[in-house]
Amino acid sequence: MSGSMDDLSRELTRIISCPYPASLTKLAEIALHSSDQTIQKAILDLPSCKISRLVSIVAAALPLWPYTLSLLHSLCRSADFSNELLRQNPGLPDALLAKANVVHEEFGEHNEVCICLLSRALPENVPLPLSAHSFFLRMFEKATQNPTVESLRPVYRMLNGACSNLLDLLSPELRHGFDRELCQILSSNSTGQNSMLLLWCFGIVIAAERPCSAEQVTDQYGQWRTASGRKLFGSKSGLYKTLNLTYLSVIWAVKGDVGVSHLEAVEGIRIAIRAMQFVDQETRQSWPSSSALARNIFPKLPAKLVGKDLNVAIQLEALTFFAMIAGDKNLLEEVVAQFETCLLNVSMVRVGTTTTPEILSLALPQFASTLSESTMCGFITNVLRAGSTPDSLANLTFYTALIPSLSSILSSSPVLRAKMAKALSFHEVQESLRTFLDSIKPSNHQNFHGFGCETSNSQLRKKLLSSTIAMLLTTALLTEPGEPTISHQLAIELLNKQQKLAGPLQHCSHVWTVAQPAISLFEQECTPSNSHQQDWKERLKSEMGMQTAYQHESVVRCVAQICQNLEDRCENVEEPLRVEKDKVKALTSENIELRAQAQSLETDLLDRRLCIDGLEDHIDSLENAKDDLSAKLMDLKIEFSTADRKADEVLRAAQEDFNNKEMHLHSTILTHEEAIHDYVQQIGARDEEIRCLDEKLESNAEEKLGWEQVQRDLQATIDNYQQQLDTKQTENEDQRDVIHRLTDRANDLDTRLHSSFEETKSLTQRLEKLDHLHQQLKQSSDQAMRDLSTENQEKLSITQQKADKLCAQLNLELQNALHNGQQTTDLYEEAYRDLQISRNAVKNLEDKIQDLSDTCIEKDEELHELRSLRSRVLASMGLAAEVPAPTPTNHQSKEGSRHSHRRRKSALQSQATHERARNEIDKSGNTATAMDEIANASFTSSDLGPTPKRSKPRTSFQVPIVEPSSSLDHGASSSKPLRLSPSKRPALKPMSPNRRHTTVGFTLPNKGRSSKISRRRGSMNLVDQASFDIGELISGTPFTAEKAASPMGMVLDEDEDEGTTEL
C-alpha cells in the first residue's frame, strides 16, 4: 500500500506542477489499482489550490479521452475532490445522469460516477438535477430484483447523500411501493443470513423516513409512518429483534477476513450507531438480559475489540456502538483502555474529517466518567502539538475539523468538561500549552515553511489555533467554582494571542491562470504614476472592516458590562421578594399535597371497607373449594406414587445407556486427540518450510525490483534516443541531399547504444563493490556505537548522583518555606481577630449615637407640638402669636432617611441575634427564658432606637367664645381643631413598622417541636418589613404616633391627611 501511495502522490504532483496539459494515462492506471483509503489520503495531503488545479485538468480532459471517466470515478471517492468538481462544473451531474439513464452497456461507468457524486450532499448553489429522480428509481428497481450488498449499497449512499429529500417528492403510490419492497427485502431469508446486507437495509429504512434528524424515540412506537420503520422500531419485541440483528452484524463487520473492506465496515457500523439512536436508553441497557441469545452474544463484541490489531476507525466506531448499549456505568476496564488507546491515536483515522467528530461527540460523553487523567493529558497534548508543530497537512485538516466539535461536546458534558479542566492544571499540559502559545506569532508572521501551499497552510493553521484557543477559553469559563483550571494570567494571554491571530485573509500565492486586474481600465489610466500601484478599493475595504470589527467589540463589551451590572442589581434588590415568593410557592404546594393526601386517604378508607366485605365473602367460597381440593389431592398423591415408581425404572435404564455411550465417546475423543497432535506437528513443520520459502521469495522479489529498475532506466535511455532520431528524420524528410548523412548518424547512434550497454554493465559491477564496502562500514559503525553506549552509561550514573543531592537540598529549602508560611498565617489570623473586636466596639458606639439622636428628635417634635397648640389657642382667642412656630422641615427629611437606615440595620442585627439565640438553644435546650429571648430578638428594631410613644389624651379644653375681628376670621377658622364623635372618626394612619408584631414568650417541649413551625417563625426575622402593607387590615387598632413610617419606609406629612384626629 505504501508503494502505491508513493506512486500516486508522485504522479499527482507531476501532473499538477506541469506547465502544459500532461498525460493522465499513468495516473488512471495507478488509481485503478489503488484502494479508496489510499486515494482519500493522497488527496487529503494536497492543499485546496492544488486540488482545484487537478479538478480543472481532469475536467478539461474528460471529453477528450475515454479513460478519463474511470479516473474521475476513482478520484471522486475523495470528498474534497468531488466537492471542488461540482463547484467548478455545476452542470456535470446533469450531463452524466442523462447518459446513465440511457440503458446501454457502454454507459455502465456513468452509473458508478453518478452514484459517487450523489453519495454526498451537494455543495451550496449546486442544484439536484431532475434526472436524478428517474436514476434513483431505476437503481432501486434493480436492487429489488436482486437484493445484494452491491445493489443496495448505492441506494443507501444516495439516500444518505444528495437524494435525502427525494422521497418526499414522490407520489403516495410510489412511496407506498417503495416501502412495500423494503418490507419484502427485510422479510426474506437471504437478508437475515447476510449481515452486511441487513445493515444496508436498516440504513435505507432510517434514511428514507428520518433523512435529516436522528432524534431518539422514547416509548412512542407510533412515530414511524412507514411499515418498514414500524417493523424495526414500532414495538418492544421489534426493538429487541432489531438489537439482536444489529449486534450480530457489527460483530461480523469487526471480525475481519470475511470479504468486507475497512470503509464498508466503518460505514456499516455507523448505520448501526444511527439505528441505536432511535432506541431509547432503557431498552438498550435492558437488552443484554432480555433473552438467552442476547446474553450469549453480548460478551463477544468486546472480546473481538480487545487485544486485536484492528483499524483505528473500526475500533472507534465499534466501541461507540458498544458503549451506547452497555451504558456509561457498565463499561469494562478492557473496553475503556482500548478506547483510550484509540483516542490517543485518533489522528490516524483517515475515513473522513466530518464523520470522526460526529462519532467522538457520541463516544466521549459515554466514556467521560471512566477516562483516566493520563489519557486526557495525552489527548490535550496531542491537540496542542498539532497546532504548534503540525507534521502533515492531513493532521492539520483533521484537527481543524475536530476542535469545534470538541468545544460543543465540552459545553454539553459537565463530566468531560471537569476532566478537561483538571487536566489543564497538570504540569506537563502546562508546558505543552506554553509551547503552544510561544508558537503563535502575529498574523503577518504566521506563514511557515512546511508542506504544500504555504499560504493555504498558513490560513488553515491560523483557523486551528483560533479554534483551539476558543476551546480552552470555553473550558475555563464553564468551570465550576473551586475546580482546578487554567490561571487568570494564562487566560488573559490566550485572549491576547487570539487578538494577534485576527487579520485579513490572504490569497493563495499559486496563480494557475492569468488573473484579471481588480481595477477597471479607466481607473488604471486615471491612477497617478507615482502611487504605490495598490488596489485602493481592497485597502479601503479592509480598513473599514477592521474599524467595524473594533466598534463591534467595544459595543459588545459595554453591553456585557451593563447586563452584568443589571444582573447584580436584580440579585441584590429582588432577593427578599424572590425568597418570599419561593416560600409562598412551597407553602402552596405543601397545602395542595396535604389536601390531595387527605382525599386519597378518604378514598382508600372507602375502598378498604368495600374490599374487606368482598374478602369475607371470598373466604367463605375458598373454604368450600378447599374441601374439594383436599379430596382431589389425596387421589393425586396415589397417582403420583405410581408414576414415581415407573419414572425410577425408566431413569435407571437411561442411566445405564448413558454410561455405555459415555465410555464409547471417551475412547473416540482420545483417538481424535492423538490424531490432532500428529496434525499439529505436521503443520508446524510445513509452516517452517513456508517461512523459508517466503524469505526466498522476498529476496527474489527484491532482486527482481532491482533488475526492473535497471531495465526501466535503459528503456528510458533508448526512448530518448529514439525520439531524437524520429525528430531528425521528420524535420529532414524533404531534404534528400542529406539522407546519407542522417543514415550515418543513425549508425553512429547505434554504436553509442552498444557502448552504453557496456557502460551499464561496468556500473553494475561498481555497484556490487560499493555494496560490499557499505557492509564493512556498517559493521564498524555498530562497534563504535556500542563503545559510545558504554561510555554514556557511566556519565549518566554520575549525573544521577548529582541530581539526587540537589533534590535533597531543594526539599530542605521547601520545608523551611512551608514553616515560614505557617507563621505568617498565624500572624494574619491574630490581626484579623483584633480587627473584629475593633469593629464590634465601633458598632456599639454607633448604636449609642443613634439612640441619643432619636431622643433629641423626639424632644424637638414635642416642642413643635406645644408651639403649634399655643398658636392655635391664641388664634382661637383672637390674639396674634408672638413668635411663629418654626416648621421642622429638616427633621422630616432626616428622619425618613434615618428610619430607613435603622430598619436595614435592625433587620441585619435581628438576623444575627436570631442566629446567636438559636445556637444557645441548641446547646442548652428549650426553656421559657430562651424562647423569650428568641421572640424578643426577632424585633430588635425597637431596642436599637426609642419607639415613638402615643401621646396621652389631654383633658378637653373649652375655648371661650370670643367674636374675632374681621381680619382674623380666616386664620381662626383654618386653625380650629374639629372634635368628632368616636363613631364618625376616620381611619387611622398606618401603624409604625416597629409595632406590627406582638411577641409573647412561650415554651414547647423538645419532642413536640416541629421543624416546619420553627422555620415559619424564624422567617419573620429575615423578611423585609417594608414588603407587607397591613395598613388597611388594622384600621381599628389603638392610636399610633402622628409621624408613623409608611410601609415603604417614608414619613407621612400632616398636610396629606387633614381629617385625621389630632393626638
Three-class SS of 1009-1034: CCHHHHHHHHHHHHCCHHHCCCCCCC
Q: Quick check: 131 pLDDT over 70?
A: yes
Question: Residues 1017, 867: contact at Cβ < 8 Å?
Answer: no
pLDDT tens profile 83-115: 889 888 888 888 888 888 876 555 577 888 888
17-21, 54-58, 118-122, 279-283, range with the lowest pLDDT: 17-21
Round to whole Å and give the CA distance between 194 and 182: 16
pLDDT tens across 471-514, in order?
A: 888 888 877 777 777 777 787 888 877 777 765 555 565 544 43
**472 in any annotated domain:** yes
Helix (H) or strand (E) holding 677: helix 575-731
Please tell me whether residues 893 and 923 are part of one structural domain: yes
pLDDT higher than 50, residue 520: no
Q: What is the DSSP letter of 66?
A: T
Tell me what pLDDT residue 927 has. Answer: 41
* Structural domain contains residue 316: yes
Q: Is residue 494 part of a domain?
A: yes
Supply φ then ψ for residue 1007, to 5 degrees. Answer: -75, -30
Query: What is the rounded distance in angstroms from the CA atom of residue 82 to the CA atom of residue 157?
Result: 15
- Quick check: is 841 in a domain? no
Residue 973 has pLDDT above 70, yes or no: no
Cβ pair 84, 42 in contact under 8 A: no
Contact 305, 318 (CB under 8 A): yes
Domain boundary among 303, 318, 352: 352
Domain termination site, one of 459, 490, 509: 509
Least confident of 635-639, 862-866, 890-894: 890-894
pLDDT recorded at residue 442: 59
Spatial separation of the C-alpha atoms in residues 324 and 247, rounded to whole Å: 12
Looking at the domain assignment, is residue 21 inside a domain? no
Mean pLDDT value of segment 368-374: 86
**Confidence tier at 225 by pLDDT (50, 70, 90):** confident
- Judged against a pLDDT cut of 60, whether residue 987 lies above it is answered with no
pLDDT at 1005 over 50: no
The pLDDT of residue 523: 37
Residues 443 and 586 grouped into a single domain = no
- Angle at Cα 86 formed by Cα 168 and Cα 355, nearest 5°? 70
Least confident residue range of 509-518, 528-537, 692-701: 509-518
Mean pLDDT, rounded, for 260-286: 87
Distances 340 to 74, 353, 367 between C-alpha atoms, Å: 34, 20, 9
Q: What is the pLDDT of residue 857?
A: 92
State the Cα–Cα distance between residues 330 and 327, nearest whole angstrom. Answer: 6
170-179, 232-241, 955-964, range with greatest mean pLDDT: 232-241
Detail the DSSP E strand segments found in 245-298: none
pLDDT, averaged across the chain: 73
Instruction: Determine contact, residues 1020/938, Cβ cutoff 8 Å.
Output: yes
Pair (390, 505) in one structural domain = yes
What is the C-alpha separation between 258 and 315, in angstroms, rounded?
17
Average pLDDT over residues 1057-1062: 37
Higher pLDDT pick, 554 / 127:
127
Residue 532 has a pLDDT of: 44
Q: Specify the number of domains making up the chain.
A: 4
The confidence score (pLDDT) of residue 527 equals 42
Indicate whether 402 and 477 sit together in one domain: yes
Q: CA–CA separation, 15 vs 13, rounded Å? A: 6
More confident residue, 935 or 739: 739
Q: Give the highest mean pLDDT range of 32-46, 269-283, 1049-1063.
A: 269-283
Q: Is 744 exposed, middle or buried (0-12, 13-18, 19+ CB in 10 A)?
A: exposed
Residue with cell 421489534: 238
More confident residue, 728 or 863: 863
Question: Does 1035 map to a domain?
Answer: yes
- Please give the residue range of the domain that contains residue 397: 372-509
Last residue of a domain, one of 617, 639, 661: 639
Check whether residue 339 and residue 391 sit in a common domain. no
- Please, which pLDDT band fits residue 191 given cuts at 50, 70 and 90? low
CB 1030 within 8 A of CB 996: yes
On whether both 629 and 488 belong to a single domain, the answer is no
What pLDDT score does 925 carry? 44
Specify if 795 maps to a domain: no
pLDDT of residue 573: 66
Regarding whether 345 and 376 lie in a shared domain, the answer is no
Q: 217 to each of 160, 179, 186, 222, how far by Cα in Å?
A: 20, 20, 21, 9
Residues 468 and 382 in one domain: yes
Instruction: Count CB-CB contacts under 10 A for residue 259.
Output: 8
Closest CA to 974 of 871, 861, 864: 871
Q: Closest Cα partner for 175 from 229, 101, 115? A: 229
Q: How many H helices and E strands in the chain?
A: 37, 0
Q: In whole angstroms, what is the distance from residue 1039 CA to residue 677 CA?
A: 115
Q: Are residues 891 and 1004 in the same domain?
A: yes
Calpha distance 21→60 (Å, rounded): 9
Same domain, 462 and 609: no
**Confidence (pLDDT) at 103:** 61
57 located within any domain? no
For residues 212 and 940, the model is more confident at 212
Q: Are 162 and 121 in contact (CB under 8 A)?
A: yes
Per-residue pLDDT band at 1042 (split at 50, 70, 90): very low
Asked whether residue 879 falls in the same domain as residue 1009, the answer is yes
Q: Is the pLDDT of residue 894 over 80?
A: no
Q: What is the CA radius of gyration of the chain?
A: 47
291 and 255, same domain (yes or no): yes
Distant-in-sequence, close-in-space partners of 993: CB < 8 Å, separation ≥ 6: 903, 941, 1025, 1026, 1045, 1047, 1049
The grid coordinates listed for 562 are: 451593563
* pLDDT tops 60 at residue 272: yes
3-state secondary structure of 172: helix
Mean per-residue pLDDT for 47-61? 86
In this prediction, residue 146 has a pLDDT band, given cuts at 50, 70 and 90, of: confident
